């Protein structure tokens, strides 16, 4: 894990909660927006017990995620239009499962909370169309085949998934530099997902643009 910790630290999850660095973990996020732009986002983190323990023991945590209810509530301090609705923590095999729901008053509130700097997560409106853009960091350093194989094996159980349901019709999802990201639509919900290893070993940082009217 140490061999690629710097690479992992350069890859941001984005969708949901603080668009955060991901490694030895899976992320499943599902958001729903109403006609006024308010909504909820449910997140579930599947985190390796070994990795979570490593992060908690280091003076600078290797896992900069708010995992406890208190941490999440603290991360919401000073953030308007965002509130914690529910929280649960459990264990499944070798993993810790963190599941919680946030409510938001508008997509811009959500984007601001996920990335206050506005560089990796952005929301904008253009001629009546809303755009929620998620970027996975800057240029990703090349990795050799042996390291890639090691990452793929270690992260095999973990996936990234983000879904969005809109009131009128399923949103459109466009992916740049992410042919491995699978896009699907069911009813008024669209989803994008991939293995976490594909995100981490991508030669170029993917970008996801989600748009709706």
Cβ neighbors of 174 (< 8 A, separation 6 or more) are: 208, 209, 211
3-state SS of 60-125?
Answer: CCCCCCCCCHHHHHHHCCCCCCEEEEEEEEEEECCEEEEEEEEEECCHHHHHHHHCCCCCCEEEEE
Residue 143, number of CB atoms within 10 A of its CB: 17
Q: What is the pLDDT of residue 139?
A: 57
Q: What separation, in Å, do the N-terminal and C-terminal C-alpha atoms of the chain show?
A: 42
Residue 49 makes CB contacts below 8 A (sequence gap 6+) with 91, 94, 95, 96
CB 98 within 8 A of CB 89: yes
Tell me which residue of 188, 161, 159, 160 sits closest to 172, measured CA to CA: 188
Q: Whole-angstrom Cα distance, residue 92 to residue 159?
A: 15
Work out whether strand 189-195 and strand 207-212 pair parallel, antiparallel, or are unpaired.
unpaired
The answer to whether 27 and 39 have CB atoms below 8 angstroms apart is: no
For each successive 10 residues of the chain (213 residues), what is the average pLDDT? Answer: 41 34 74 96 87 46 65 87 95 90 95 85 93 80 75 82 96 96 98 90 90 95
């Amino acid at each position: 894990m140490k061999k690629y910790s710097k690479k992992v630290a350069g890859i941001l999850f984005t969708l949901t909660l603080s668009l955060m660095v991901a490694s030895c973990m899976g992320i499943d996020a599902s958001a729903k927006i109403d006609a006024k732009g308010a909504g909820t986002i449910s997140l579930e983190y599947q985190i390796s017990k070994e990795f979570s323990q490593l992060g908690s023991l280091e003076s600078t945590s290797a896992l900069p995620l708010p995992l406890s209810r208190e941490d999440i509530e603290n991360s919401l301090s000073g953030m308007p239009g965002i509130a914690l609705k529910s929280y649960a923590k459990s264990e499944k095999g070798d993993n810790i499962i963190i599941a919680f729901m946030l409510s938001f008053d508008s997509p811009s509130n959500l984007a601001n909370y996920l990335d206050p700097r506005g560089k990796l997560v952005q929301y904008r409106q253009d001629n009546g169309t809303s755009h929620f853009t998620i970027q996975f960091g800057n240029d990703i350093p090349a990795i050799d085949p042996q390291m890639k194989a090691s990452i793929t094996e270690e992260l095999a159980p973990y996936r990234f998934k983000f879904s969005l349901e809109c009131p009128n019709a399923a949103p459109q999802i466009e992916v740049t530099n992410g042919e491995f990201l699978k896009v699907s639509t069911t009813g008024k919900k669209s989803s994008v997902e991939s293995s976490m290893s594909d995100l981490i070993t991508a030669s170029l940082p993917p970008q996801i643009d989600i748009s709706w009217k």
